Structure 1
Amino acid sequence: MPLIKVLGSSSSGNCYIIQAGEEKLVLECGIDYKSILKGLNYSIKGVVGCLISHQHMDHCKSFKKILESFPKVVVPLEILEKFQCMSSGKSIIAENQKLINIGRFSVMPFDCQHTNADGSECKNLGYLIQHPIMGRILFATDTYYLKYKFKDVDHILIECNYSEDNLQALEPHEQRLFKSHMSLETLKETLKTWDLSSTKTITLIHLSKNNGEPERFKREIESLTGIPTYIAVEELEVS
Structure 2
Amino acid sequence: MECTVLASGSSGNCMYIRSGESALILDAGLSKKEIITRLSASGKDPGIVDAILLTHEHTDHVRGAEALARELNLPLTGTGGTLTAFRSTRQAIKKQAPQNPCRYNTSFTAGEFVVTPFAVSHDAVEPCGYSIRCGDLCLSIMTDTGIVTPHMMEYLSASDGIVLESNHCPEMLAHGPYPEYLKRRIRGKTGHLSNTMAADCIRDLKGSIGTVILSHLSEINNTPKRAFASSQEALGLDMSYIDLRVAAPGIGCSCLSKTIKIG
**After TM superposition, is the score higher than 0.5?**
yes
What letter corresponds to residue 90 of structure 2 in structure 1? F
Looking at structure 2, the residues matched to 31 and 212 of structure 1 have their Cα atoms a distance apart, in angstroms, of 21
CA contact (8 A) 1:55 1:82 kept: no
The answer to whether the 8 A contact 1:66-1:73 is kept is no
* Contact 2:66–2:96 (Cα < 8 Å) also in 1: no
Q: CA deviation at 1:198?
A: 4.0
| Matching residue of 2:22 | 23
* Equivalent residue, structure 2, for 1:118: none
Contact 1:153 1:198 survives alignment (8 Å): yes
C-alpha deviation, 1:97, in angstroms: 1.0
Equivalent in 117, 122, 126 of residue 114 of structure 1: 122
Contact 1:37 1:43 (C-alpha < 8 Å) held by counterparts: no
- Structure 1 residue 128: deviation in Å? 0.6
Aligned mates of 1:74, 1:9 — CA distance in 2: 20
1:175 aligns with one of 163, 183, 200 = 183
Match for residue 80 of structure 1 among 83, 87, 106: 87
Question: In the aligned structure 2, how far is the partner of 1:232 from the partner of 1:141?
Answer: 11
Q: Could you tell me how far 1:221 is from its partner in structure 2? A: 1.2
Asked whether the equivalents of residues 96 and 110 of structure 1 are also in contact (C-alpha less than 8 Å), the reply is yes
CA distance in 2, matches of 1:206, 1:146: 15
**Cα shift at 1:29:** 0.2
1:94 aligns with 2:102: yes
The DSSP-based 3-state class of the residue aligned with 1:50 is: strand
Residues 101-154 of structure 1, C-alpha deviations (whole Å, 9 max, x = no match): 111111111111112xxxxx5421110111127x11110112111222132311
| Residue 152 of structure 2 corresponds to residue 163 of structure 1 | no
Check whether the contact 1:23–1:46 (CA below 8 A) recurs between aligned residues: yes
Name the structure 2 match of 1:48.
50
* Matching residue of 2:209: 199
Give, in whole Å, the separation in 2 of the partners of 1:100 and 1:89: 20
Cα 1:11–1:96, aligned 2, differ >3 Å: closer, same or farther? same
CA distance in 1, matches of 2:37, 2:174: 40
Q: Which has the higher strand share?
A: 1
Report if the CA contact (8 A) 2:79-2:104 is conserved. Answer: no
Task: Give the letter for the 1:11 counterpart.
Answer: S
Q: 2:135 aligned to 132, 144, 157, which one?
A: 132
Q: Cα RMSD between the aligned structures?
A: 2.3
Preserved contact between residue 13 and residue 30 of structure 2 (Cα < 8 Å): yes
Taking a change above 3 Å as real, the CA distance of residues 38 and 74 of structure 1, as seen in their structure-2 partners, is same
Whether the 8 Å CA contact 2:196–2:230 is kept in 1: the answer is no
Amino acid at match of 1:59: H
Shift of 1:205: 0.6
Q: Tell me how far 1:44 sits from its aligned partner.
A: 2.4
Aligned equivalent of 1:39:
38
The Cα of 1:43 is off from its aligned counterpart by 4.7
Gap change, CA 1:168 and 1:5, over 3 Å in 2: same
Aligned-residue offset at 1:4: 1.5
Percent identical pairs in the alignment equals 24
Where does residue 60 of structure 2 map in the other structure? 58
- Written as runs of structure 1 = structure 2, the 5 A alignment for 1:198-237 is 198-225=208-235, 226=239, 227-233=242-248, 234-235=251-252, 236-237=257-258
Task: Provide the aligned length of Structure 1 versus Structure 2.
Answer: 230
Distance 1:88 1:102, change over 3 A: farther
Task: Tell which deviates more after alignment, 147-156 or 164-173.
Answer: 164-173
Whichever structure has more helix as a proportion of its residues is: 2
Q: Shift of residue 95 of structure 1?
A: 2.0
Q: CA deviation at 1:40?
A: 2.8
Please list every run of 5 or more consecutive structure 1 residues that lacks an aligned counterpart in the other structure. 116-120
